[in-house]
Amino acid sequence: MADKEAAAQQAPAQTEGANMPLFYKQPMPLDSKKHVKLGLKKDFGLGFTSTVNAVPINMIEMPQICHFYPIAFSPDNNATPVALVGLRDNENLFVNKKGEWEKNTYIPAYIRRYPFIFSEVPNSDQLTLCVDMDDNVINEKSDQKFFTENSEPTQLAQNALEFCKSYHAAAQQTIEFSKALAASGLLVDRQAEIAIGDGQKISFSGFRIIDEQKLAEVSDADFLEWRKKGWLPFLYAHLFSGSQWQRLTALLNERLEQEGKNKKK
């Protein structure tokens, strides 16, 4: 399934053998002939996110994200905004062993998009809807088919296409925002030292945040330019998200307590 749109998305599907976007193993273009029998497993869960501690987010999500997760930026020149979902390596504190997300908590769009993703068609401005060919997610027994018997896209496939289109548009806005932020000099490297049970501490590093003092001292011209572009709410959403470090710490302490109980059994 293809859709005409210009430019590349934030994390496009890659050719086999190349580095894959987070979570994706083998994204393939949906084909009405090859995949007419395939469908999406019902309630396959969110267990595929269990080994990550940060998830890419789009700029427009930041006002929602800031109520649930700390927001940080990647240390590279892309300054990609991410929601921090864990404090230890390979651990997501918001998903349990059943693949269920923490109740009453906003789930980032990057996760909700899975297993669908756009890929670029070489030498074209066309984007093609792909699906990750993971046996844990896709099979021929599912009632949630991608195509009808007449090889027409089902409502599921159409909804996935619309969601990916919306995500792609938001990702383009995010790239512009992130590049400007990276070039602004407002970002600083940070290392958080988190106190956990029994007097232990965890050091968490490899991320950047906006320096509030530098933001306060930004020139009037630059500030007005950010306001003109409508980016100020997203800057402040990032700053407000700092209070969610306490939530991460509480979730980690809960998990450590449960791990301690399991060891005693």
The DSSP annotation for 117-128 comes to EEEEPTTSSEEE
Task: Fill in the amino acid letter for 174.
Answer: T
Q: What pTM was estimated for this model as a whole?
A: 0.89
Mean pLDDT of 29-33: 93
Task: Please list the residues that pair with 95 across neighbouring strands.
Answer: 101
Q: How confident is the model at residue 265 (pLDDT cuts 50, 70, 90)?
A: low
Q: Specify the residue for token string 């991320």.
A: 207
Whether the predicted pLDDT of 71 surpasses 90: yes
pLDDT at residue 12 tops 50: no
* pLDDT band of 257, cuts 50, 70, 90: confident
Who's near 146: CB < 8 A, 6+ residues apart?
Answer: 30, 35, 36, 38, 39, 40, 131, 153, 154, 156, 157
- 10 Å Cβ neighbour count for 50? 18
- Give the tokens for residue 35: 């995949």
Q: How far is 159 from 45, CA to CA, in rounded Å?
A: 19
**Pairwise CA distance, residues 100 & 96, whole Å:** 5
Those residues with Cβ within 8 angstroms of residue 245's Cβ, 6 or more apart along the chain or in another chain: 70, 192, 194
User: Is 174 within a domain?
Assistant: no
Residue at 10 is within a domain: yes
115 upstream amide cis, omega within 30 of 0 = yes
How many C-alpha atoms does 210 have within 13 Å on its Cβ side?
Answer: 24
Confidence bin at 11 (pLDDT 50/70/90)? very low
Instruction: Please report, rounded to a whole number, the percentage of residues in the chain having pLDDT higher than 90.
Output: 77
As a whole number, mean pLDDT of residues 248-259 equals 90
Q: Which of 16-25, 124-133, 190-199, 228-237 has the lowest mean pLDDT?
A: 16-25
What pLDDT, on a 0 to 100 scale, did the predictor assign at position 14? 31
pLDDT at residue 179 greater than cutoff 90: yes
Would residue 172 count as lying in a domain?
Answer: no
Q: Tell me, what's the pLDDT at 198?
A: 72
Domain hosting 33: range is 2-163+180-264
Residue 8, pLDDT > 80, answer no
| Mean pLDDT confidence for 174-200 | 89
Q: Tell me if 231 is assigned to some domain.
A: yes
**pLDDT tens, 206-243?**
899 999 999 999 999 999 999 999 999 999 999 999 99
15 has a pLDDT exceeding 90: no
Burial (CB < 10 A; 0-12, 13-18, 19+), residue 99, is middle
| pLDDT value for 124 | 62
- Assigned domain for 175 exists: no
Do the beta carbons of residue 70 and residue 244 sit within 8 Å? yes
Classify residue 173: in a domain, yes or no. Answer: no
Question: Side by side, which strands form the sheet with 81-84?
Answer: 54-56, 81-84, 71-73, 201-210, 187-195
Give the separation between CA 162 and CA 127, rounded to whole angstroms: 12
Q: Which two tokens stand for residue 114?
A: 């899975």
| Residue 199 clears pLDDT 80, i.e. is over it | no
What does the pLDDT look like over 87-121, one tens digit per residue?
Answer: 999 999 999 999 999 999 999 999 999 999 998 76
Name 193's bridge partners: 203
Query: Is 99 inside a domain boundary?
Result: yes
* Torsion angle of the four alpha carbons 175, 180, 183, 187, in this order, in degrees rounded to the nearest 10: -90
Determine the average pLDDT of the residues in 74-98: 95
Average pLDDT over residues 193-216: 87
Kindly give, in sequence order, each residue whose CB lies less than 8 Å from that of residue 88, ignoring residues fewer than 6 positions away. Answer: 53, 202, 252
What is the count of structural domains for the chain? Answer: 1
- Read off the pLDDT of each residue in 183-201 and give the average, rounded to a whole number: 86
Residue 53 within any structural domain of the chain? yes
